[in-house]
Structure 1
Amino acid sequence: MLLLDIKNLTIELETPDGLIRAVDRVNLSLKEGETRGLVGESGSGKSLVAKAIVGVLNRRWHVHADRFNWLGQDLLRISSEQRRQIIGRDIAMIYQEPSRSLDPTAEIGEQLEEAIPSHLLESRWWQRPFERKKRAIALLHKVGIRDHQNVMQSYPFQLSEGVCQKIMIAMAIAKNPKLLIADEPTTALESTTQAQLFRLLASFNQLKGMAVLLISHELESVARYTQNLSVLYCGQLVESGDTASLLQQPLHPYTDALIKSVPEFQPELAPKSPLYALHGSIPTLQHLPIGCRLGPRCPNARKECVKTPQQERLQNHFFSCHFPLLGKGDK
């Protein structure tokens, strides 16, 4: 069953000099039980897409789409109250920097109990405080926190980033969402904690059938735990498809550059050899290139690249490039 279906998502920022198109006609879909990775450099628009889905962008951002459906209902064409009810019931999001997302003035136990929806409680009203606490403890155990008594009585600043991230995950899964969006869930965490959190998200997907949208700039980690992959560059969707197929045969130069920059994907690379990298850096919103935004950095760029490429399809592999790594005769 198709949960999320977005076509030609455009997000524009209102500035004194006019509107700046930060996200340019992005397509994204998620099926029930699917794990999809959304990868790209910092500043590529990944978090903007996630925030547009949950509707937390402020009024300076203008969101448009040909289709923005959740379970067949267009979220952009219903009232804000209806949208809040749908998002609150079906979608949960884990934000970057968990210690900043938690309330610094409330104990963890209070915040976690508050995240448990009333409709999930089965006991009578006078027994509900005890049931909430019991469920909160069970959620902490699910995310790998055993010392629940100490954690529930602590404030966010008294805990490590890794523990706070686990608490954010516990709060997100408290309502049994159909879709969990994890926005850079392992930022600033040590590698062992990162691997543990990725395994945790994968287990919820397998055991609960929860769809997961995993957002990160770390291609290596995302590829290991996702079925499908979408690659963003500077607000444009450059390639998407099955993770294994995309890693084996990338069609877009940017995806190819990301793969070549990861040592794990280059087993034939000699020790101490320099990793592949594109020249230059991602442009700022104030100086976006016309046409294909990778053009100024692309090794295959030609004069045709001043026009925005249309999305093309090769079986279940989508890409937007005038000169893909496979010739036109191969399509």
Structure 2
Amino acid sequence: MNILDIRNLSIKLVTSHKPILAVDRVSLTMKEGEVRGLVGESGSGKSLLAQAIVGVLDDKWQVDADRFHWRGIDLMRVSIEERKKIISKDVAMIFQEPMACLDPTTTIGAQLEEAVDHEQLTGYFWQKKQQRKLAAVNLLHKVGIKHHEICIKSYPHQLTEALCQRVMIAMALAKRPLLLIADEPTAAMESTNQNQIFRLLASLNQLKNMSILLISHDLENVTHWTNTITVMYSGQFVEAGTTQHIFNKPYHPYTRALVDSSPKANMQIPMKSRLMTLPGSIPILQHLPIGCRLGPRCPKAQKACVQAPNVKNYHGHQVSCHYSLKGSY
């Protein structure tokens, strides 16, 4: 059963001139207990899509969708306030910059205690206060922070970015969410700490049956921890399928380029050789190409690419391309 079902979601940036279509008709589904990767270069709209799901975008962003269902509830038919109430109860998000998200004027312990779900607490008010403190300590232990005494009394600026990221994960887990959205959760960490965080997320998925949307620009790293992958480019849907199929037999030229640029796919090339890359860079919002936005960089681009392609479905493997690579395998 799909707990999240989004069809053709678009996000417009409202400006004094013409609105800018930052995310163009992107579809995304999440099953219960699924770990899905959301992959693309920086600027591809991954974080914007995640923030639209959680409902934290401000008024300058306009969100519209053909379908936006959460556990069978049509969120497009309820008010924005009701939508936020429904989503905030079951969905938690780990943001990309933990230092900017934590309150610099409050201790870590106080922020964690505030995040604890009141439904977990029982008894009288003086008992609940102690329960909150104990719950905060348990959350820190759960994310691998052993010396909780120091962490609880500290302010965010007194901790490393890696520790702040763990605190952010602990705050997200305090809600006991059904869906956890992790936006580049290991961006500021060393490889050892990265693996610890990914193992933590994997254990939460296995033990709590928590669904996880893992956002990253690193396709190869995501393949180790996900069941399925969705690829985006410049605000458009590119490709979606099982992790194994996406990495081993991508159908879209952009996904093929991501795979070819990974070290794992280049084990046979001579040392110090340059990895394969697409020419150019991702377009800025003010100058988006018409039709398929990969067109100016795509090695397979032709005249038809000035029209946005329809999504083709090959037994569950979806691709949005006029000239997909399916026949090349």
**TM-score by structure 2 length?**
0.98
Q: Deviations over 1:172-192 (max 9, x none)?
A: 011110000011111222222
- 1:174 counterpart residue number: 174
The one-letter code of the counterpart of 1:54 is: V
CA distance in 1, matches of 2:87, 2:69: 12
CA distance in 1, matches of 2:128, 2:140: 18
The one-letter code of the counterpart of 1:271 is: M
- 1:111 counterpart residue number: 111
8 Å contact from structure 1 (residues 8, 24) kept in 2? yes
**More deviation in 15-24 or 168-177?**
15-24
The one-letter code of the counterpart of 1:154 is: S
1:310 has 2:320 as partner: no
8 Å contact from structure 2 (residues 115, 174) kept in 1? yes
The one-letter code of the counterpart of 1:48 is: L
8 Å contact from structure 1 (residues 7, 68) kept in 2? yes
Q: Deviations over 1:57-88 (max 9, x none)?
A: 11111111000000111222212332222122
- 1:269 counterpart residue number: 269
- 1:146 counterpart residue number: 146
CA distance in 1, matches of 2:23, 2:175: 30
Instruction: Give, in angstroms, the shift of residue 210 of structure 1.
Output: 0.3
Q: Deviations over 1:87-138 (max 9, x none)?
A: 2210000001101100000000000000001111133332001111111101
The one-letter code of the counterpart of 1:244 is: Q
8 Å contact from structure 2 (residues 30, 36) kept in 1? yes
Instruction: Give, in angstroms, the shift of residue 230 of structure 1.
Output: 0.3
- 2:294 counterpart residue number: 294
Aligned residue runs from structure 1 range 1-331, under 5 A: 1-327=1-327
Instruction: Give, in angstroms, the shift of residue 16 of structure 1.
Output: 2.1
Question: What SS is found at the alignment partner of 1:4?
Answer: strand
Equivalent pairs counted in the alignment come to 329
* Unaligned ranges ≥5, structure 1: none
* Unaligned ranges ≥5, structure 2: none
Runs of 4+ residues over 4 Å off in structure 1:
none
CA distance in 1, matches of 2:327, 2:187: 38
8 Å contact from structure 2 (residues 292, 306) kept in 1? yes
8 Å contact from structure 1 (residues 123, 131) kept in 2? no
Q: Deviations over 1:143-174 (max 9, x none)?
A: 00000011000000000001100000000011
Q: Deviations over 1:8-41 (max 9, x none)?
A: 0000111122111010000000011000000100
Question: What SS is found at the alignment partner of 1:296?
Answer: helix
CA distance in 1, matches of 2:178, 2:235: 26
**More deviation in 120-129 or 174-183?**
120-129
The one-letter code of the counterpart of 2:102 is: L
Task: Give the % identical residues.
Answer: 57
CA distance in 1, matches of 2:218, 2:147: 30
Question: What SS is found at the alignment partner of 1:225?
Answer: coil
Instruction: Give, in angstroms, the shift of residue 314 of structure 1.
Output: 0.8
CA distance in 1, matches of 2:118, 2:245: 43
CA distance in 2, matches of 1:122, 1:229: 41
The one-letter code of the counterpart of 1:294 is: L
The one-letter code of the counterpart of 1:157 is: H
**TM-score by structure 1 length?**
0.97
CA distance in 2, matches of 1:56, 1:85: 12
> Cα RMSD between the aligned structures?
1.2
**More deviation in 75-84 or 203-212?**
75-84
Instruction: Give, in angstroms, the shift of residue 270 of structure 1.
Output: 2.5
8 Å contact from structure 2 (residues 266, 275) kept in 1? no
CA distance in 2, matches of 1:305, 1:4: 31
The one-letter code of the counterpart of 2:197 is: L
Question: What SS is found at the alignment partner of 1:76?
Answer: helix
